[in-house]
Amino acid sequence: MALALALRRLSSSVDKPIRPLFNATSHYYMSSLPNEAVYDKEKNGVSWPKQLNAPLEAVDPEIADIIEHEKARQWKGLELIPSENFTSVSVMQAVGSVMTNKYSEGYPGARYYGGNEFIDMAETLCQKRALEAFRLDPAKWGVNVQPLSGIMALDLPHGGHLSHGYQTDTKKISAVSIFFETMPYRLDESTGYIDYDQLEKSATLFRPKLLVAGASAYARLYDYARIRKVCDKQKAILLADMAHISGLVAAGVIPSPFEYADVVTTTTHKSLRGPRGAMIFFRKGVKEINKQGKETKSIKLSFLDFKVAHTTTTITGLAVALKQATTPEYKAYQEQVLSNCSRFAQSLNEKGYELVSGGTENHLVLVNLKNKGIDGSRVEKVLEAVHIAANKNTVPGDVSAMVPGGIRMGDLLRRISPKLQIFFDAAVKLAVKIKGEAKGTKLKDFLAALPAPHFQSEIAKLRHDN
């Protein structure tokens, strides 16, 4: 548990004196005032600097205790939610640095506030590293590293993401579906793969201005070349959302969307293993020349009208993560992720579980639990009770995202228990048993039955074996 040890090492720094602002050996943990200023204030009977420079345990023991409990939860359990990861100590140090004290609206060299010399350096370096991490020519690609986390796109029940414009027959669910006219494309339910033929037919009728190639719970690789042809035919922008797979793309262990996309977006805290943020990559130059001989420019991002001040600590931490993404160690890590997930999918198949698409080509598996007589919400609760974090997820045919028929799991760790499929199978069987003894059919009835002593005994055994 190297990651857990790293977390412990980071927490142990709380006991150490906070380093002064002008200590030449480090710029990670800094006091809000240099030692000399603190001394002068105390000499004159001013006490407030003590609060600025005291460690978290002294200032707010309640929050410090909550953080320690969360650290213990991450350390003792199995974290299998594909949209989560363990970032490095160095990234956490950058995110917890004095960069948090600065406003920096605007872009490097064009800020609204003064005093951004070093913020500009950090953001410019982050942009440079982002292009390097994905092997992009800066003459052809630009990148905005400021976005906070977060049309025709893959439908939510078929593995798409809520933010891509999900709506039901009667209600618009996400903000994108409210502001834009959206239409989903779907899987071929007989194979679990994206139905590209139907996508092309739908695009011919819908004529999208933008087509999104990206998913939240799709275990297969995208055929970017096929979608590019559809976009060219419809004169549509191809936006590749690689939020889940950007770390795998950076490591070069799966195909990259950059050859085909006009815009590429990603969050930075999933497989990329960075802080919680996002990036938007965009092509530069001329997109095409129309029949009248006029040039159509590629997309250019500008200072947005609806914009809040971004977090400079996130950008600084992202720069650190992107540097790591270019190392041989990082590629080995991502290769291990793919290997682990492939073995896990195979073991689930051997146990008789139905996987959407039959397997995986990336870092996640999507299990359809309907043939087991149980749903993802109930299994999620039992897994959580035995210290395995996974998440309920819609599968094709679902009508509710709150009580869906699937469970989504992923492996972003270097090592994983070879008995994981045994623990998962036992948790599913226990969930079926609890459901059978519950006094009603609703999730609240299941939760009411969960604390029964005989169920808690089985949970305790599973937790001990895990």
- Residue 31, judged by CB atoms within 10 A of its CB (0-12, 13-18, 19+), counts as buried
Q: Which residues contact 166 (CB under 8 A, 6 or more apart)?
A: 155, 156, 160, 173, 174, 177, 182, 184
Phi/psi of residue 400, each to 5°? -130, 130
**Extended beta strands in 63-128, E state:** 78-79, 106-107, 110-111
CA angle in degrees (0–180, nearest 5) for 457-462-466: 150
Q: Which of 68, 71, 103, 120 is catalytic?
A: 103
Active site residue 267: yes
CB 275, CB 95: distance < 8 Å: yes
CA angle in degrees (0–180, nearest 5) for 373-378-379: 80
How many CB atoms lie under 10 A from the CB of residue 128?
A: 14
Active site residue 270: yes
Active site residue 241: yes
DSSP letters along 435-448, please? HHHSSSSSHHHHHH
Active site residue 329: no
Angstrom distance (rounded) from CA 151 to CA 240: 12
Angstrom distance (rounded) from CA 310 to CA 275: 13
* Residue in the structure block whose two tokens are 């604390």: 451
Which sign, positive or negative, has the C-alpha torsion 158, 163, 169, 171?
positive
**450's tokens:** 């969960």
Q: Which of 68, 84, 105, 354 is catalytic?
A: 105
- Residue 9, judged by CB atoms within 10 A of its CB (0-12, 13-18, 19+), counts as exposed
**39's tokens:** 């001394």
Longest dimension (CA), the chain: 78
CB 189, CB 129: distance < 8 Å: no
Q: Which of 265, 266, 267, 313 is catalytic?
A: 267
Which whole-number Å values give the CA distances from 388 to 73, 78, 121, 417, in the listed order?
10, 5, 41, 12
Q: Which of 71, 102, 128, 276 is catalytic?
A: 276
Angstrom distance (rounded) from CA 69 to CA 49: 29
Angstrom distance (rounded) from CA 195 to CA 192: 9
Which whole-number Å values give the CA distances from 93 to 27, 87, 130, 226, in the listed order?
9, 11, 20, 42
Catalytic residues: 103, 105, 241, 267, 270, 276
